[in-house]
Chain A
Amino acid sequence: MRLVVPLQGIVQGRGGLIIGSLIPCALIYFLRLHLKRHRSPSDRADLPRSGSRPYRSTRGSLAPARVSSRAESIARPDKSPYYVGLDRVSRDPFDEVDNPVGIIQLGLAENRLCLDLIEEWLCENLNGAMIGHGGDKDHLGIGGIVEYQPLDGLMELKGAMASFMTQVLGRGISFDPSRIVLTAGATPAVEILCFCLADPGNAFIVPAPYYPGFDRDMTWRTGVELIPAHCRSADNFIPSISALDQAFNQARKRGKRVRGILISNPSNPMGKLLPRETIHNLLHFAQEKNIHIISDEIFAGSIHGNEEFVSLAEILDAGEFDKNRVHIVYGLSKDLSLAGFRVGVIYSYNDDVLAAAKKLTRFSSVSAPTQRLLISLLSDTSFIERYLETNRKRIREMYDLFVGGIKELGVKYVESSGGLYCWVDMSGLIRSYSEKGELELWDKLLNVAKVNATPGSACHSIEPGWFRCCFSTLSKDNIPTVIARIRKVAEMR
């Protein structure tokens, strides 16, 4: 009753405007406060109505323990054709002898062309490499692999890595071992840089088409967004500043803060090497917008063409640009065929980023036995030289063979010089010129031809019909089989 009285007063014209609005406001405020208090232990989304349940049932509440929303979205099965394809291959892999009707893997950029060389080296050097020679009582031997090590990598390995990078990324560049941070693969290297350069809600510009794994590495845990800057087949898929600028302005308009550009060189999935001039332009652009550049150069040693590879590090050495904003990612998975070793490199010119990355390697360190092994491997310069040369020769052979087969099919492709893959234009084979048509073809390739290639849409390509085909997991004898299988689909149309 008492509550109604002042309202009555208002109705009868005796109250004021203030009371008339304040009282109901206060009422609803308290009501909401009350409701909120009683509901707060559970997010509304989490357990509606369960508030009182668990109190009564002692052990074994019926309310399920929910995982975080970020984990929920990660745990969901993937719909991206890139991962679906990889998954399908792992369940039914092609094998000449055991499973000749299995799926042939063209979706994984893994280098199996030079395993014989690695094996040979390991057989000769394995014992000494890991626990010291002959197993004498020298305490450094085993202690070196089982004790606490600096998490960002042993200094010896960094030294060896620096000279290896000089060999691969450019003879003229000298890499400073103290600017190297070693991580458990290039994947965490990219993620750590993303954590270091951007806050949740910020964005990175990525020239598209780009490697599908970046979506996971850059966005999953960091809360950062990737904004594609579309490159076109007409420009030969070389990133243009106008595309970057457009992406930058779009982000701006949406209130997104752009913190950097992420490029891959040689580009993945196209295999193009960035021309010197483009790199200059990119650096100018970054400087003008005051943003960072991450350059993923993991395929730098897997060059099969005659073009010259130019590392970002080389351009920086000329001294024209502010180095603080440049970070290079490298790894041994591709160029040294050691994907299983999980060794990645962050090479940053920014001291703060280095200091932070060193701390963050506590979550992604390379284990000591592997490091020991790699110190021996990388210090064996004559082996490394022989390996790099043979590797290049074999990649070129495979590329020529594969491209030859593709030509026979009458299908176009992008002439490239780097990487373990070929970027093929199958738009002539798709029924409708759209993403849907492309995915139909992908499905046919996977299920009818039993070939797993990565469709362009998984790489955020805006032109439909492109496919990335990795040829380095095949042997030469497999190529005719692959071509024959693709031909079957091509002729179905």
Chain B
Amino acid sequence: MTRTRHSRSRSPDPEEDSKPTTSSSSSSGGGTAMRVIVPLQGVVQGRGGLVLGSVIPCALFYFLQLYLKRNRSRKPPPPSPSSSAEHLPEVPGLQRTLSRAHLSPRGPGGPAHVSGRVNAILRSGDSPDSVGEKKYLEDTYDERSNPDGVIQLGLAENKVGLDLVRNWMVENGRGVMLGDELSISGITNYQPFDGLMELKVAVAKFMSQAVEGAVSFNPSQIVLTTGASAAIEMLSFCIADAGNAFLVPTPYNPSFDCDLKWRSGVEIIPAPCRSADGFSLSVTALDRAFSQAKKRGVKVRGIVISNPSDPVGSLPNREALYSLLDFATEKNIHIICNEVFVGSTHGEGFLSMAEVAESEDFDRSRVHIVYSLSEDLSLVGFNVGVVYSFNQNVVAAAKKLVRFSSISSPTQRVLVSLLTDTRFTQNFIRISRERLRKMCMGFIEGLKQLGIECMTGSGGSYCWADMSGLIRSYSEKGELELWDKLLNTAKIKVTPGSICHCIEPGWFRFCFTALTDKDVPLVMERLQKVAETCKSRS
């Protein structure tokens, strides 16, 4: 009885589940039920002892609990009622589809179902970000051919050093890929999936250069992937199991929602930071999020942060990073530090997590760094990401998992040539930082004249602006109304704070690096129009 009901329920492996329990439950028919009650009767009638009277019910209850637990253990922990509404959409639609599918007739003509997890991914298509992106692609701004088109300020695409890369490519011509003595088999044959050793050495050196030599990176701890997204996903797979969670200080880069959760089945627990603290990392918020997760029975496996922070653009100081690492050590969890914008820092004071981890007697094996050549080298299309981990097991697993995300060898060869040209890389970093700083100052100044204040950041190719003065109602709805107006009236595509999970409404991220100098006044003009209509109405 128990057995059949059981195998139809959604426990994925009933064989394993039901075996131990059948001996205790299914073999017990009516007869055993009686036998159980008899000693109790004895107790009631004063003939049993204290021992029997308490041991038997205890044992019964224990087995009941054990049985319940066994049957439940394979499923992801159910969302508890305490989880707030914003968590609900995060639970993938997988639970329901499974049972559904059993009911569906298997006759011909029934549609072939896709998996539940993919259904959940497909449904995430209506976020403001993808709506904006669609609109932008349909109606892209171009100075000459479409001057009324949508201007892209939502994509952290660094174009400031594009001309430098172009010149290098033209100068170095064909030697770039094949080299002089290299044979063709170096690019056509199977190569190690985790990247060519030459490229790892070059990347390690470049990463050191980007932090001005403060840390020396070890090439054998590097795994190269197709972009930072793949690197983050791989770490998510390696550190957490399905149903576990990561703490992420908000506001955070919306792409974390895809990279950390989609396929790995891991949950994100936001730790809200506030504008009053300059959105800086707060261990108190992390601690609160951690305890909440614990209460819900969700196991936290790590913290994920961006440094420089994205979307805010601030740089956590030494103190903050130390206390973060202390917190992780205390809770025995991992830290993933996303440092893709290192080379785009334009102020002082960037401190890599690698430096902090190496500086004192920390257990480094919990620290993992994600790096990317896309943002810093203006090489977005190359799509090269880096996992740099101090944990041997993670490196070993990542090296095997990278079979799903390995970089094609022509690209690797080009990068080896590019990165080993130290004169070029040094020059590039210097010039691009200088240009970024200028652009950032210009953009912030422009916003200020419109009465919009920005967080003063010194990293990243974006700024984080407080437009709460322009929204009609101080809520997410008000914010999205303004976002909609910016997109459809002013034709500017920006990132609203709500999709970065910012708890204070009215904040927006502007990525300015895709603009030319000429575009900035145009953006300001368009913004001003919106600002005026908003103000005149209020």
Nearest-Cβ distance from residue A245 to partner chain B, whole angstroms: 13
Contact across chains for A290 and B173 when beta carbons are under 8 A apart: no
- A26–B423 Cα distance when bound, in Å, is 74
| Complex partner residue of A196 from B111, B114, B301, B365, CB under 8 angstroms | B114
Residues of A within 8 A of B134 (CB): none
| Complex partner residue of B294 from A41, A54, A339, CB under 8 angstroms | A41
The interface-forming segment of B25-33, B235-243, B346-354, B501-509 is: B235-243
List residues of A (104-162) whose CB comes within 8 Å of B's CBs.
108, 110, 112, 115, 118-119, 122-123, 126-127, 130-131, 135, 141-149
> What is the 8 Å Cβ interface bit string for chain B, positions 383-412, against chain A (1 contact, 0 not)?
110000001011011001101111111110
The interface-forming segment of A95-103, A181-189, A311-319, A443-451 is: A181-189
Contact across chains for B108 and A288 when beta carbons are under 8 A apart: yes
Residues of A within 8 A of B121 (CB): 356, 359-360
| Complex partner residue of B406 from A67, A185, A199, CB under 8 angstroms | A185
Beyond the given pairs A54-B332, A61-B329, A355-B125, 4 more chain A to chain B contacts, judged by CB atoms under 8 angstroms and listed by A's residue number, are A24-B55, A195-B117, A221-B401, A364-B230
Nearest-Cβ distance from residue A117 to partner chain B, whole angstroms: 10
Interface of B is mostly: helix
Contact across chains for A17 and B188 when beta carbons are under 8 A apart: no
Nearest-Cβ distance from residue B411 to partner chain A, whole angstroms: 4
B interface with A by C-beta (< 8 Å): 7-8, 11-15, 37, 40-41, 43-46, 48-50, 53-55, 57-58, 60-62, 65, 74, 94, 97-98, 101-102, 104-112, 114-119, 121-122, 125, 155, 157, 159, 162, 165-166, 169-170, 173-174, 176-178, 184-191, 226-227, 229-230, 233, 237-242, 244, 258-259, 262-265, 294, 297, 299, 301, 325-326, 329-334, 360-363, 365-366, 378-384, 391, 393-394, 396-397, 400-401, 403-411, 414
Number of contacting residues on A, CB 8 A?
A: 122
Contact across chains for B332 and A363 when beta carbons are under 8 A apart: no
Contact across chains for A146 and B117 when beta carbons are under 8 A apart: no
Known contacts being A325-B112, A340-B190, A340-B408, is A184 close to B226, with CB within 8 Å? Answer: yes
Q: When A and B form their complex, which 9 residue pairs have the shortest distance between CB atoms, in order from nearest?
A: A201-B12, A368-B381, A13-B46, A65-B366, A325-B112, A340-B409, A135-B170, A119-B184, A21-B57
Contact across chains for B333 and A195 when beta carbons are under 8 A apart: no
Contact across chains for A110 and B226 when beta carbons are under 8 A apart: no
| Complex partner residue of B242 from A119, A223, A337, A338, CB under 8 angstroms | A223
Residues of B within 8 A of A130 (CB): 176-177, 410
- A197–B65 Cα distance when bound, in Å, is 35
Contact across chains for A364 and B188 when beta carbons are under 8 A apart: no
**A257 interface residue, CB < 8 Å from B?**
yes
Most buried by A among B102, B107, B238: B238
**A48 interface residue, CB < 8 Å from B?**
no
Contact across chains for B401 and A65 when beta carbons are under 8 A apart: no
What are some 8 contacts across the A-B interface (CB < 8 A)?
A25-B60, A59-B326, A71-B393, A148-B381, A223-B242, A339-B188, A340-B189, A373-B410
Interface of A is mostly: helix
| Complex partner residue of A362 from B40, B109, B229, CB under 8 angstroms | B229
Contact across chains for B394 and A67 when beta carbons are under 8 A apart: yes
Contact across chains for A54 and B263 when beta carbons are under 8 A apart: no
